[in-house]
Amino acid sequence: MESVSDEILGLAAKKLRGELDKEGETALESWLSQHPENRIQLEKAIGVWERYKPATASADNIPAPPWRSTQPSGKYGHTVSRSKGTVTKRLPIFRYAAVLSLLAFSALLWWRFGDEKQSALSALPDAVTVTIDKGESAEVLALDDLTDRHSLSYDSESNAINIVRPSLDIKMMRVDVPRGERVRLKLADGTAVNLNSSSSIQFPDRFSKGVREVKLLAGEAFFNVTKGKNPFIVRMGGLNVKVLGTEFNVANYKGEDRAVTLTEGKVALYRKDERESEYLEPGMQALIRKDNPKRMIIREVDTDKYSCWKDDIFRFENNSLDEMETRLERWFDVEIDNRNKAFGQRRISGDFDRGDGIETLLEILCDRQDVRYTIRGKRVNIL
């Protein structure tokens, strides 16, 4: 295994900027193929820069190379310098961070956040899974199995998947959320995505130059898009949503109406030709009914009704149980057998906290009604 030379780091920087020519590509691939650890070592060097570079980096505040410091080292080898009340920590992390900051700063500053697609395997039952495309094969992982080696981490407290170390070569990934589960996802550009039950999304671990694109393969997601110079595009079954920075909800469940609901900012919706875009302002929704998929209805709505699910709120607004049955089954991972037709058609309004569970919701709905129910495992019978 060879050390990572300045020349190799320079080639890597050009690759990340999309400026590497064929000769450079050959040289870089030759070095990577010489030893299995070479790729890991180079990606670690890039990851180190990403993790410890200044939050507001510029050509004037690039960290000085650690070997030039004359400051005494503190605990764990940190070098601490103080200037006008500011404390700056510089880590003795080889020369990689300094070399990358000089050779590849302009690329890495904008590269820090993701690209595009991937392949698929069947999800593990009853659990959120991540599938990582490896060319001819794919690896399916449970959330607790994610490590830096996969460019991802999982924080159980916030229920969030985060991209922590983008790979040198773009990796396509897919997150599958089963019934009864939800998860948060932070993409490479900082865009936050809330994924609802029975949802699948495809994304890259970093975005290539000029492109920020994901695919909502199925289900529902709320996007809080980080502003950037490149547009952010969500593709879903022939419909594309294009934004620069905004908040919106997308519903794309199989066999159901599809909808894009805008909370903040502005979005353009188009099918094949972007010149034929429809535009949404905050408080508006584009609805495509399942029985007339060629027609797009633009209407004003209460946006909170369509996005409160991300805050664990289930909302009835003059809806019947029959209308909401599929959503309840998805949310709580149950099968509902309603044998009381009159009760199924009764109109209901109100907010319910997901954390209270299906039993509490049923108790409230059945209160003062001559209605009984039983729960056996995942089976709910309304009598």
Domains detected in the chain: 6-109 (no CATH), 129-306 (2.60.120.1440), 312-382 (3.55.50.30)
More confident site: 326 or 15:
326
pLDDT digit string, tens, across residues 64-108? 333 223 333 333 333 333 333 333 333 333 334 443 443 343 333
Cα separation, 331 vs 180, whole angstroms:
5
Q: Count CB neighbours of 43 within 10 A.
A: 19
Counting every residue written for the chain, the total comes to 383
Say if CB 194 and CB 221 are below 8 A apart.
yes
DSSP state, 335? E
Cα separation, 316 vs 219, whole angstroms:
20
The per-residue pLDDT for 20 is 77
pLDDT at position 265 over 60: yes
Q: What is the pTM of this model?
A: 0.67
Say if CB 93 and CB 104 are below 8 A apart.
no
Q: What residues have CB less than 8 Å from 107, skipping those under 6 apart? A: 13, 14, 16, 17
Cα separation, 230 vs 275, whole angstroms:
18
User: Position of tokens 């590849």?
Assistant: 104
User: Position of tokens 């929704």?
Assistant: 285
Cα separation, 248 vs 239, whole angstroms:
15
